[in-house]
Amino acid sequence: MLRFGPTFFTYLLRQRFGPQRLRRQPEMDMVMLDEEQDREFALDGEFGALAVVYEMVIYAVLRAGPHSGKALDIASGSGQLLSKLALSLPEMRFTGTDLSDHMLHVARASARTYGASNVEFIKQDMFALETLAPQQFDLITWSLAMHHCQRQRDVIRVLEGAHRLLKPGGTFFLWDIIRPKTGPTAVAFADMYNRGRGSWFYQDSLDSYKAAFTFQELDSLLAQSPFAGARHIQPTLGNFFQIVCASQSWGSQRPFRSFLKTPTQRLDYWMLRLGFAREW
């Protein structure tokens, strides 16, 4: 069994200390369009590793973000994360965005299923954020979508757009996967975290790992953006998930209701929390 066995541990060590050999391979499909895709994605957002990442994100936002006001989520996808965040922060009004009409439809259905009434979804290209009125949001989140950028300058474009929309002193969160150091490591991560949710989801996860930015690449992009100096962290071990947080205040942790469903998810969540414990 691969799960946290010696083989996987070797991959974690290689990922932490090995040289970066895997080059970035931008994804062909940027926008999610089809029903099978969103069904497999949504399944993982409920019962799989994606739900674990969402849980970590909710923990982080409740820790460092504002608890009321207006929030914007860039490229909301299935809307599961945003619905869970909206339930966790009932005094905040959330606007989720996506370029895909299909994903907007899925996201609205998600919000209804979760019973999140403080969230709405609108069609919006993340590369055209200048079409929205400036300085209107207390919180902006950009989750697991940076790896959809074809070029490095596209990342800076979104960062500039998001910065313009934030109120002065507002909080910005970005999180995404980190590109594995080698092809076999990418496969090991996909086997570990993304198997069993359907063939499209498995392949999409693998493609996403390969399209992701390394920690150093994002560090250098941040330095060229209005978010230079923001807190940028990765887990001590594991090294496959990175968080950027630009926040003026370090709020107190609010207790939140867990959305995790299985003991395996809870174990993975605490491993992830442990990975960030030194800095978070």
Ligand X SMILES: C[S@@+](CC[C@H](N)C(=O)[O-])C[C@H]1O[C@@H](n2cnc3c(N)ncnc32)[C@H](O)[C@@H]1O
- Binding stretches for ligand X (CB under 6 A): 30-32, 75-78, 81, 98-100, 103, 125-127, 143-145, 148
CB of 45 to ligand X, least distance (A): 6
CB closer to ligand X, 103 vs 190: 103
**Residue 103: how many other CB atoms lie within 10 Å:** 26
Shortest CB 117 distance to ligand X, Å: 20
Q: Looking at beta carbons only, is 78 or 95 nearer to ligand X?
A: 78
Residue 98 vs 138, nearer CB to ligand X = 98
Cβ distance to ligand X smaller for residue 2 or 122: 122
Which tokens is 211 given? Answer: 């399209």
Q: Considering beta carbons, is residue 12 or 155 the nearer one to ligand X?
A: 155
CB 172 within 8 A of CB 64: no
Collapse the DSSP code of 144 into the 3-class scheme (helix H, G, I; strand E, B; otherwise coil) and give the result. coil
Which residue do the tokens 């954020």 mark? Answer: 129
Which region holds residue 73: left if phi is over 0, alpha if psi is between -120 and 50, else beta?
beta
Instruction: Please identify, using beta-carbon distances, which residue of 42 and 230 lies nearer to ligand X.
Output: 42
Rounded least distance, CB 140 to ligand X, Å: 12
Residue closest to 12 by CA, chosen among 272, 277, 278, 273: 272
153's tokens: 């300058």
Closest CA to 247 of 162, 138, 159: 138
Cβ nearer to ligand X, comparing 14 with 142:
142
Instruction: State the residue number with the nearest CB to ligand X.
Output: 77
Residue 125: CB minimum distance to ligand X, A: 5
Q: What are 275's two structure tokens?
A: 């990975």
Q: Is the dihedral of CA 268, 197, 59, 231 positive or negative?
A: positive
Least distance in angstroms from the C-beta of 98 to ligand X: 5
Minimum CB–partner distance for residue 182 and ligand X (Å): 23
CA distance to 69, 120, 134, per residue, from 97 (Å): 17, 9, 16
Nearest to 106 by CA among 72, 142, 80, 145: 80
Give the separation between CA 132 and CA 126, rounded to whole angstroms.
11
* Closest distance to ligand X from the beta carbon of 10 (Å): 28
Q: How far is the CB of 75 from ligand X (least distance, A)?
A: 3
Closer of 12 and 221 to ligand X (Cβ) = 221
Q: Which residue has the tokens 């070029």?
A: 151
Those residues with Cβ within 8 angstroms of residue 136's Cβ, 6 or more apart along the chain or in another chain:
70, 165, 167
